[in-house]
Structure 1
Amino acid sequence: MENLPLVDLLVIAVYMLAMVYIGYVFSKRNKTESQFTKASGRIPGWAIGLSLYATFLSSNTFIGVPGKAFGSNWNAFAFSLSMPIAALIAAKYFVPFYRNTGEVSAYTNLERRFGPWARTYAVICFILTQIARMGSIFFGLSLTLQALTGFDIKTIMLITGICIVLYTVMGGIEAVIWTEVIQAILITVGALLILYLPIQHIEGGIGKIFEIGMTDKKFSLGSWKFDFTTSTFWVVLVYGFFINLNNFGMDQNYVQRYHTVSTSRGAAKSIWLCVWMYIPISLLFFVIGSCLYAYYQTNPALLEPIKIQAAAERLGNNAASGEIAALAQTLKPEDYGDKVMPHFMVTMLPGGILGLIISAILSAGMSTISSGMNASATVFSEDIYKRYFRRKTTDKEGLRLLHIATVVFGLLGMFAGVLMIGIKSVLDIWWQLSGIFAGGMLGLFLLGIASKQTNNQAAFIATLTGILVILWMTFSYLIPDQYAFLRNPLHANMIIVVGTLVIFLVGIVMGNTKKS
């Protein structure tokens, strides 16, 4: 760790040990499966809200959002603007629905409604989504820490992964939630500290930042045309609505938390606390990206090491220095946006403060990964193991199963992170993967709630149709040029939108047809 002073290493070490200690403290309460997965319903609503907020604020937000703002504009902020609409639906319909069922799994009801295949399909989609998400966060987290510490990416994944597994396995959902409360505060403080520094170091301050941003259109929310083939404002807004509806309505990370608070009203309030905290803070990260852009525009020589690093990663370790330097000069801001924030931190932050910010980035990543591990283990236990292998287990057997599953999903997340090494934008790859896996799951869930006429067979045909459409939209770019007219013309973010609507509408039509 040649880049970090001792004081920063101590700050990071204290933070990591504190997270593991919290897991140890709560391990004494986890004697049953209900305590591990629901915390016996004793968590206050405000803590759930902060926990949901921390889950949203992953390292993809901490690094990816400023990187997107640096490389392009504020187009991705439309995602945040869609949250209140999804939250309104979730608080009014989804929370009471799940609270009334009493089931810790979000997918048990699908079996009652459509049969075992529906439950299994949703579980597979969820698990794949979580592995992809954990992988993208492991990679984004490790990419940042590599720039700050000089450690190998895989080594960083291993060290952070072990710490996350330890406190998640020991403390269960209660440890996950209370560590996320701490992490939410740390992330917010860290973001405010980072915002202050580029403003301080730009001659002309906020006025200069605004001038540069307006000149280069860095504050744009994207095109307002109703064009769904490119990343317009409307594409991101609609995509955000469907993803957030999936988060609040179908994602086990969120649904499981609805059971950890004592009342439905408290669970609904936690959603709104999450939304009203996330929107301004996500905007803050876009502002940080624009500030960094203005800072490096006024100090262009400072960008050279970032470009060299990006070029070296593209060409590989064996590339000649001249070849790397030549490629570096051709790179555009969007090609190295994710590297700007880590570079700024390691070169500009004073000792002690850098350790605090690194801890904040660790918080952003660890909170989401631990949630994903706990939720995936819960779903595996409830919807796969108990459904197909052994319906009745003792508390001791159930806890052992949850512990083993938590470790396994943590390892799978790390492996997915290794596979993502070399991608250009962490945020882009996560958005694409989540859209692919979540589209069919959300469509089936909405169909089950909205249509009483759609039976098992109609739902199966609708889901199969939706899967085929999703596969075509995802892989049609592989079609040879002579058949280019068969390719998907829509932007990749529209996959979840179209997939969800196809399943929902086909199911509705078939249900009404059979009724008539």
Structure 2
Amino acid sequence: MSDQVQAPLPQGAGYGVVVGFGVAFALGMIWVTRSLRISFNEDNKSTETFMVANRTVGTGLTASAVVSSWLYSTALLGASLLTYKYGLALGVWWGASASTMVCFLSLISIEAKRRAPNAHTLLELIRVRYGTAAHLIWIVFCLLTNILNFSSMLLGASAAVTSLTGMNVIASTYLLPVGVGVYTYFGGLRATFLTDYIHTFIIMIILAWVTIKIIVVKEIGSIGALYNAVTAADKIHPVQGNYGGSHLTMRSEQCLYFGILHVISNFGAVIMDTGFWQKGFSADVASAVPGYVLGGIASFSVPWAIGTFGGLAAVALESTDIFPTYPRMMTAEEVTSGLVLPYVVQAVAGKAGAGALLVTIFMACTSIASAQMIAISSIISFDIYGTYFNKNATDKQLITWSHIGVVATSLVIPTLATAFNKGGVDMTWLLYMVGNITNPGCIPTVFALLWKGQTKAAAVVSPLVGVCCSLSVWLGTTYAYFGEISVASTGSTMPCLFGCVTAFFVPLPITVIVSLVRPTSFDWSAFTKQIHKVRRPEQDRTEADQHSTEEWVAPEMKRYMKRMSRWAAFWTVFTLLGHIFLWPLAMYGAKIVFSKSLFTAWIVVSLIYLWFTLVVANFYPLYDGGARKIWIVLCGQVTPEASSKSEPQQDTSGYSSEGPPKNARVEAKVLPAS
């Protein structure tokens, strides 16, 4: 944050957006939640609705929520600042780190539905399979993942809001999550999906406008002129470690290092983030794989396009009089705080651009904040209170503690982010180091669902050894490189890279070796026998007990889910090969600086991809049943499910011929959480 650059907008604009929009969304989501309860019997006072949206979310809304999950203010700001520092290869690496992990989650999601159809959180699976010790370890890992991700996002967003409006940074840090906390408190995960969609709708339109505005601004004027300006700037300030010192090459050492670091870090950020698992649990059976795959592929374009446009525009415009810092260059503090994109938008679009970006940052921040609040509150209510303090917790008690978790999160995380800010820790530092903390749990978590041979001892030992090794390597490498342990040195690329890789790979041989020393074979049916839906007060216990002894799914549905699991595995491998090995890695081997024609094609394709994402996130959910439901709500109609006051059932009316057979049904095991 710079005190030398005058904010383009008044403080009133910052408070108006942060507080006013927050209140507006809160009131709007309260009304929507009430309308859904009337029209569709979506009872937000039910744990099944609050935590997993009754497991009936369709493909379009799932895909939109996935895209929204990667519209971090960190991604928008970080991709731009790192492209400014290291070149256009960065955007591709960032996009790859998002898309590959989300497509992998399609496999995790369908396998979770096959083996634990009534699960509410990842931690339930760990408790049933490995017991109390592992459960407590995973609670710590998952809480740290959600807390660090939330804090990083809030740090970047508050710095950007302060840069654009002059609003006090501490005030913006505390006020950004307030409105989110209100509508999350009342609406739960369903409200998160709906606000994700609305936020994403607005964000994608603004991002499409910003990219066009950057190209047509008078100081640039065309794609070719942008190429000429960047080339000229590189002759004066070459990029160290890049082929030819150019921003316009895929042969960039720092981009390669960041790519490896971020791909592996995002694996931890996704697998250990219970919010992603809950979105998988909430999708209906027919939507889990296509929703995650479509959303994962679409999410690639945002960091690629916005990083490329924002970062290269900063390189081109920094020496012109429209740039906010002119005649000086941006300071290192301004860059690492994420102010590259705000300065660019201010330069090309003035106050209108600053206002649009302010809304974008607010939307991105609040969308992620809602998902993180649900994730953290579910751990507090279901995995701490419902497991260790009240094993016979009722639906109402679990909801109460979910509400307590939402309120606590909206207060604790801003306080932590403020402490980071005052301690000199910025968004970039958290972005680089988070993998050292989260990655040790990745392999054991995946094996908990995909490998029946992993033992309890292996699950307990491997992440603990992994985190000890990662912290040792991270801090030891920092001292070896810089001769000191400080905030600046520990946030550098190479120490974080070595620590992150160690954190990810060390648990793999440990868990395999320990498991093979005294091999066992886990019975997957334990998940269905011990994890049940939460029984609502009006439901008959005798009927619930009878249901709990039945097979939870028909044979036709089993075959369908097995087929979808194979498709998920295919897309996981396909995306990994395409978005990492066949694109950035292959182009890294080619020692070339982009020609003007290649650069033009690059920019055009990124724009087409960005518009594809806009269609997927904005319009496909309307086509996929959203428009019908909106019409029902606006007209005040009541569906048969709501009129009969029955518990919401899976809607199979939208299944294609390739979807689950219509006679397949999921039995509702409705026993207490214990």
**TM-score category, normalised to shorter length:** 0.7 to 0.9
Q: Which runs of 5+ in 2 are unaligned?
A: 1-6, 35-42, 235-245, 485-489, 521-674
Contact 1:64 1:425 survives alignment (8 Å): no
Alignment counterpart, residue 106 of structure 2, candidates 91, 94, 99? 91
Letter in 1 for 2:505: L
Alignment counterpart, residue 273 of structure 1, candidates 270, 284, 294? 294
Deviation at 1:13, TM superposition (A): 6.6
Q: How does 1:321-336 map to 2 (within 5 A)?
A: 331=331, 335=335
- CA separation of 1:9/1:162 partners in 2, compared to 1, >3 Å: closer, same or farther? closer
Find the counterpart in structure 2 of residue 324 from structure 1.
none
Find the counterpart in structure 2 of residue 106 from structure 1.
122
1:53 aligns with 2:70: no
Describe the SS at the equivalent of 2:284.
Answer: coil
Deviation at 1:27, TM superposition (A): 4.3
Contact 2:433 2:500 survives alignment (8 Å): no
Letter in 2 for 1:219: L
1:135 aligns with 2:151: yes
Give the distance between the partners of 2:46 and 2:519, measured in 1 at CA.
Answer: 46
More helix per residue: 1 or 2? 1
Find the counterpart in structure 2 of residue 314 from structure 1.
none
Find the counterpart in structure 1 of residue 283 from structure 2.
261
Q: Which runs of 5+ in 1 are unaligned?
A: 225-230, 311-330
Deviation at 1:441, TM superposition (A): 1.6
Describe the SS at the equivalent of 1:218.
Answer: coil
1:457-497, Cα deviation, whole Å (9 max, x unpaired): 2333323321210220232257589999xx99954134333
Of stretches 189-198 and 251-260 in structure 1, the one that deviates more from structure 2 is 189-198
- CA separation of 1:152/1:222 partners in 2, compared to 1, >3 Å: closer, same or farther? farther
Deviation at 1:347, TM superposition (A): 5.3
Contact 1:138 1:417 survives alignment (8 Å): yes
Find the counterpart in structure 2 of residue 19 from structure 1.
25
Of stretches 426-435 and 158-167 in structure 1, the one that deviates more from structure 2 is 426-435
Letter in 2 for 1:207: G
Find the counterpart in structure 1 of residue 356 from structure 2.
356
Contact 1:253 1:371 survives alignment (8 Å): yes
Contact 1:120 1:383 survives alignment (8 Å): no
1:127-164, Cα deviation, whole Å (9 max, x unpaired): 11211121121121111111221110111122222111
Find the counterpart in structure 2 of residue 316 from structure 1.
none
Q: How does 1:97-496 map to 2 (within 5 A)?
A: 97-98=112-113, 100-101=115-116, 102-199=118-215, 200-214=217-231, 216=234, 217-223=246-252, 231-233=254-256, 235-263=257-285, 265-299=286-320, 302-304=323-325, 331=331, 335=335, 338-346=338-346, 348-349=348-349, 354-421=354-421, 426-449=426-449, 451-477=451-477, 491-496=495-500
Letter in 2 for 1:18: A
Find the counterpart in structure 1 of residue 609 from structure 2.
none
Give the distance between the partners of 1:402 and 1:337, measured in 2 at CA.
Answer: 33
- Larger Rg, first or second structure (1 or 2): 2
Find the counterpart in structure 2 of residue 319 from structure 1.
none
Of stretches 331-340 and 195-204 in structure 1, the one that deviates more from structure 2 is 331-340
Deviation at 1:390, TM superposition (A): 0.9
Describe the SS at the equivalent of 2:415.
Answer: helix
Contact 2:103 2:296 survives alignment (8 Å): no
Contact 1:80 1:279 survives alignment (8 Å): yes
Deviation at 1:284, TM superposition (A): 1.2
Deviation at 1:358, TM superposition (A): 1.6
Contact 2:72 2:153 survives alignment (8 Å): yes
- CA separation of 1:76/1:429 partners in 2, compared to 1, >3 Å: closer, same or farther? farther
Contact 2:10 2:166 survives alignment (8 Å): no
Give the distance between the partners of 2:109 and 2:284, measured in 1 at CA.
Answer: 16
Describe the SS at the equivalent of 1:338.
Answer: coil
Deviation at 1:305, TM superposition (A): 6.1
Give the distance between the partners of 2:252 and 2:436, measured in 1 at CA.
Answer: 24
Letter in 2 for 1:255: W
Give the distance between the partners of 2:73 and 2:345, measured in 1 at CA.
Answer: 15
Give the distance between the partners of 1:293 and 1:7, measured in 2 at CA.
Answer: 25
Letter in 1 for 2:62: I
Give the distance between the partners of 1:287 and 1:18, measured in 2 at CA.
Answer: 33
Give the distance between the partners of 2:445 and 2:15, measured in 1 at CA.
Answer: 46
Give the distance between the partners of 1:172 and 1:118, measured in 2 at CA.
Answer: 27
Letter in 2 for 1:97: A
Deviation at 1:198, TM superposition (A): 3.0
Deviation at 1:104, TM superposition (A): 0.8
- CA separation of 1:339/1:84 partners in 2, compared to 1, >3 Å: closer, same or farther? closer
Contact 2:465 2:507 survives alignment (8 Å): yes
Deviation at 1:197, TM superposition (A): 2.8
- CA separation of 1:179/1:411 partners in 2, compared to 1, >3 Å: closer, same or farther? same
Describe the SS at the equivalent of 1:161.
Answer: helix
Deviation at 1:179, TM superposition (A): 0.6
1:504 aligns with 2:508: yes
Contact 2:436 2:467 survives alignment (8 Å): no
How many residue pairs align between the two structures?
485
Contact 1:74 1:222 survives alignment (8 Å): no
Of stretches 336-345 and 382-391 in structure 1, the one that deviates more from structure 2 is 336-345
Contact 1:69 1:286 survives alignment (8 Å): yes
1:70-101, Cα deviation, whole Å (9 max, x unpaired): 23323433132244543443323443224531
Deviation at 1:509, TM superposition (A): 1.5
Letter in 2 for 1:259: F
Give the distance between the partners of 2:432 and 2:218, measured in 1 at CA.
Answer: 36
Describe the SS at the equivalent of 1:302.
Answer: coil
Give the distance between the partners of 2:327 and 2:120, measured in 1 at CA.
Answer: 46
Task: Report percent identity of matched pairs.
Answer: 16
- CA separation of 1:383/1:306 partners in 2, compared to 1, >3 Å: closer, same or farther? farther
Describe the SS at the equivalent of 2:282.
Answer: coil
Contact 1:136 1:416 survives alignment (8 Å): no
- CA separation of 1:165/1:221 partners in 2, compared to 1, >3 Å: closer, same or farther? farther
Deviation at 1:397, TM superposition (A): 1.7
Contact 2:311 2:341 survives alignment (8 Å): no
Give the distance between the partners of 1:23 and 1:275, measured in 2 at CA.
Answer: 26
Deviation at 1:401, TM superposition (A): 0.7
Letter in 1 for 2:180: I
Give the distance between the partners of 1:346 and 1:400, measured in 2 at CA.
Answer: 44
TM-score between both structures, scaled by the size of structure 1: 0.84
Alignment counterpart, residue 35 of structure 1, candidates 49, 62, 75? 49
Of stretches 368-377 and 188-197 in structure 1, the one that deviates more from structure 2 is 188-197
Contact 1:8 1:352 survives alignment (8 Å): no
Contact 1:45 1:270 survives alignment (8 Å): yes
Contact 1:34 1:40 survives alignment (8 Å): yes
Deviation at 1:171, TM superposition (A): 1.3
Of stretches 75-84 and 151-160 in structure 1, the one that deviates more from structure 2 is 75-84
Contact 1:65 1:286 survives alignment (8 Å): yes
Give the distance between the partners of 2:212 and 2:112, measured in 1 at CA.
Answer: 44
Letter in 1 for 2:400: R
Contact 1:338 1:425 survives alignment (8 Å): no
Of stretches 142-151 and 24-33 in structure 1, the one that deviates more from structure 2 is 24-33
- CA separation of 1:248/1:339 partners in 2, compared to 1, >3 Å: closer, same or farther? closer
